[in-house]
Amino acid sequence: MTADSSIPEVSAAEERTTLQIPSDATPLEPVAMAKAVPEAERPSEDTPLAREIADLTRRRSALAAEQLPLPPATRIFTVANQKGGVGKTTSTVNLAAALARAGARVLVIDLDPQGNASTALGVEHRSETPSVYDVVINDEPISGVIQASPDFEGLYCVPATIHLAGAEIELVSMVAREQRLRTSLLRFLEESPDTFHYVFIDCPPSLGLLTINAFVAASEVLIPIQCEYYALEGLSQLLNNIALIERHLNPALMVSTILLTMYDSRTNLANQVAQDVRDHFPEQVLKTPIPRSVRISEAPSYGQTVISYDTNSAGSLSYREAAAEIARRGAPN
């Protein structure tokens, strides 16, 4: 994990996406500078770079000053949206890492045959690795397949391998096919000597039996919504499916959290989409949107979350703020 340093690490790559500054510009530390330079000679915060750095510094200090509450009982989230590439996996791993960094014990279940969450958390998921496939299809206990994250104490992952691709078909003919993950997860949580505070289940971009297993195992649904034109298309189908699951298979299920992802505040479209989503779901949408960030998209290629890859970047701070909101709000009643 990268330790907090007194100088905000705004990478050149990150800056290129938001600011046009010379590559040899050195980041300024407004707080230290305020002490060292007489007020009359101090550069004001009215350059974009100085404003951005001052903002990052303020946000980092606010996060550092806050002790997040831990939930009294395990909160189980399914992260779902049948639309592909909206930030399900990115949000799963980064929120999980942010909560673990803040002292929670967190389990990520990778329920997508693509295995992207396993990659981002840096855990083994070659085809012969014991995985969530063995849990769902072969009744292997979760304790037999779980792996610890190399970067965060208290963060664990049930990996997915390519075998999971066949599970949708294999599940069709199985007994209690919608309940298999739930049964296994509840047994694991009950038997685990240490309390898990959060479980996040990363779903594939479909509404098949794997996603249904995730909905049945969870009490909360977190929907990432990408701030682009088609964002709300398909959402009513997703909400209808969740309502059906709630009626027939899991009365405790509710959509507790909506997270705006890949938000670019400079475009009218992103602002319009964000406003539409907030108007429709005022209770559920987190205040913090996740910005489009090169650092966020780079992190998985290093087998890391952005929380460890570049902890002080704007993307990391946003995920840490979103995680803090989730923790502060607590489970819905």
Rule CB under 6 A: which residues touch ligand ATP? Answer: 84-90, 112, 114, 116, 205, 261-262, 290, 292-293, 296-297, 315
Edge-to-edge strands of the sheet including 198-202? 147-148, 155-158, 106-110, 198-202, 75-79, 220-226, 254-261
- 138 phi and psi, to 5 degrees? -105, 10
Minimum Å distance from CB 151 to ligand ATP?
17
Comparing CB distances to ligand ATP, the nearer of 293 and 304 is 293
170: left (phi over 0), alpha (psi -120 to 50) or beta: alpha
Q: Shortest distance, CB of residue 205 to ligand ATP, whole angstroms?
A: 3
Radius of gyration of the chain (CA): 21
Does 88 engage in binding with Mg ion (CB under 5 A)? Answer: yes
Instruction: Indicate which of ligand ATP, Mg ion, none lies near residue 223 (CB less than 5 to 8 Å, by partner kind).
Output: none
Q: Which stretch binds Mg ion (CB under 5 A): 27-35, 87-95, 119-127, 297-305?
A: 87-95
Taking CB within 5 to 8 Å according to partner kind, which of ligand ATP, Mg ion, none is near residue 296?
A: ligand ATP
Selection from ligand ATP, Mg ion, none that 197 binds (CB < 5 to 8 A by kind) is: none
CB of 63 to ligand ATP, least distance (A): 18
DSSP letter for 291, please.
Answer: B
Nearer to Mg ion, 112 or 178 (CB): 112
Interface region with Mg ion, contact rule CB under 5 A, candidates 27-35, 42-50, 82-90, 166-174: 82-90
Cα 239 to the center of its chain, rounded Å:
20
Please list the residues that pair with 257 across neighbouring strands: 222
- For Mg ion, how many residues bind (rule: CB under 5 A)? 3
CA distances from 15 to 48, 130, 298 (A): 11, 41, 14
Q: Among 57, 74, 89, 304, which residue interacts with Mg ion (rule: CB under 5 A)?
A: 89
Alpha-carbon span 306 to 302, nearest angstrom: 10
Binding mask 108-127 for Mg ion (x = CB under 5 A): --------x-----------
Query: What tokens were used for 107?
Result: 């389990």
Which of ligand ATP, Mg ion, none does residue 262 bind (CB under 5 to 8 Å by kind)? Answer: ligand ATP
Q: Note whether 81 binds Mg ion by CB under 5 A.
A: no
Per CB under 5 A, which of residues 153..212 are in contact with Mg ion?
A: none
Measured CA to CA in angstroms, residue 61 lies from 7, 66, 181, 308, 325 at distances of: 12, 9, 40, 17, 16
Pick from Mg ion, ligand ATP, none: which does 261 bind, CB < 5 to 8 A by kind?
ligand ATP
Q: How far is the CB of 195 from ligand ATP (least distance, A)?
A: 28
Kindly give the residue spans of alpha helices, DSSP state H, lying in the chain: 12-18, 30-36, 48-65, 88-101, 116-120, 132-138, 167-172, 180-191, 209-217, 235-248, 268-280, 294-298, 306-309, 314-329
Q: Which does 90 bind (CB under 5 to 8 A by kind): Mg ion, ligand ATP, none?
A: ligand ATP
Q: Rounded to whole angstroms, how far apart are CA atoms 199 and 95?
A: 11
**Contact residues for Mg ion, defined by CB under 5 A:** 88-89, 116
